[in-house]
Amino acid sequence: MDLFNLTGKVAVVTGSSRGIGRSIAIQLAKAGARVVISSRKLAACEAVVQTIRETGGAQGGKAMAIAANISDKAQVEALVAQTRAAWGGIDIMVCNAATNPYYGPMTGMSDEVFDKIMRNNVLSNAWLCNLAYPDMKAKKNGAIIIVSSIGGLHGSSVIGAYNISKAADMQLARNLAVEWGPDNIRVNCIAPGLIRTDFAKALHENPVLKAKVEGETPLRRIGEPDDIGGIAVLLASAAGQYITGQTIVADGGMMIR
């Protein structure tokens, strides 16, 4: 278990008030990390902090809430600054927050919508990574995890711009892994398939679509948030110390069927 021990590490997880981000934050805390819970609404973040304090166990259980809108660079900078002021340098950065405000073909999509998707899903991740970099460089150790999607591995007639942003996240991880590898900073993506979250409820709450996905998935089920949380612990810990620039697909086998 020492390979997965994160005691003494400081982690920031964006979009962690619910869904995949919440699971990642809870699992990092259980492994011993001090975790910053961040999303737009402070009350929702504080609820997750309370859950971590109640269920963290003997090893974990340390968390604090900092509200931030990832589309606002000043708020992202404040998130990192407040984390440093409270706990010191950041060891683990999890870029999970994302948006998909549009469902339909890209033909005719407004520039404003496309810009919003790329800003929230790619540019904000670049901000977060660059802000955490000095801390990790100083320690000659760090782990960055970007939550992408299997959407970045295939085309779509209805969420094309979202998929483009998720493919860009994979390339962002590869580029930063090359640049920052000499400083022993690992940068990886997790690409979930369909997960039972509020973000994807339009898909998994549709019984016809849900049955179709389950029927085509080798494991014959859609994913749960906790199917992703453990992967983040692997990538953040010594167990994943020789993994960088990779995209780990967690989709029940959907992409290999």
Q: Please indicate whether residue 242 is annotated as part of the active site.
A: no
Q: Name the active-site residue from 102, 103, 162, 242.
A: 162
Q: Which residues contact 51 (CB under 8 A, 6 or more apart)?
A: 26
- Contact predicate 148/166, CB 8 Å: yes
The strands making up 142-147's β-sheet, listed across from edge to edge, are 62-65, 34-38, 10-14, 92-95, 142-147, 185-192, 247-250
Residue 171: closest CA among 195, 192, 188? 188
* Rounded Cα distance, 100 and 78, in Å: 24
Q: Which residues are catalytic?
A: 162
